[in-house]
């Protein structure tokens, strides 16, 4: 395996890692969106059930009011859990973003090095061809004189 093939292989590996990191970033963002949607639904439920307990709201029995308060407490507990999940999801997005950025930087570096190796190989090949053409020209000159 020559240098050019090695650099091309490293560039492909870097591209693959970058694609994996991008996939993880997309998944992390989707998870964060799902947590935000759940949090919104829970806030809507909280508002709905809190409104039922407000004076001037629909009248309910003492047992219904007690059940509503218990349900509201349960919603508050779930909300605290969702807040923790949102923080975890936000950190996952931040981490995935950092990994993706590093992978993209590495990919760009590997592609640049592969391109540079290709230019060097082409330059060496051109120099070799020039040398062969010079040698051929000299031998034709000598053959024509001799």
pLDDT band at 29 (very low <50, low <70, confident <90, very high): very high
Q: Is pLDDT above 90 for 66?
A: no
Q: How many CB atoms lie within 10 A of CB 24?
A: 18
Q: Convert the pLDDT of each residue in 36-50 to its tens digit.
A: 999 999 999 999 888
54: left (phi over 0), alpha (psi -120 to 50) or beta: beta
pLDDT band at 25 (very low <50, low <70, confident <90, very high): very high
Its pTM stands at: 0.76
Name all domains of the chain by residue range, CATH numbers in brackets.
3-145 (1.10.287.1700)
pLDDT band at 61 (very low <50, low <70, confident <90, very high): confident
């Amino acid at each position: 395996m020559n240098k050019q093939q090695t650099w091309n292989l490293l560039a492909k590996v870097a591209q693959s890692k970058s694609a994996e990191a991008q996939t993880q970033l997309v998944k992390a963002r989707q998870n964060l969106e799902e947590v935000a949607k759940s949090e919104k639904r829970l806030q809507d439920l909280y508002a709905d059930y809190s409104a039922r307990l407000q004076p001037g709201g629909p009248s309910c029995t003492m047992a219904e009011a007690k059940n509503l308060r218990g349900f509201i407490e349960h919603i508050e507990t779930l909300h605290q859990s969702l807040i923790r999940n949102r923080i975890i999801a936000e950190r996952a997005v931040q981490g995935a973003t950092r990994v993706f950025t590093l992978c993209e930087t590495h990919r760009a570096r590997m592609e640049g090095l592969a391109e540079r190796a290709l230019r060097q190989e082409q330059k060496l090949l051109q120099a070799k061809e020039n040398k062969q053409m010079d040698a051929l020209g000299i031998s034709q000159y000598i053959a024509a004189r001799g």
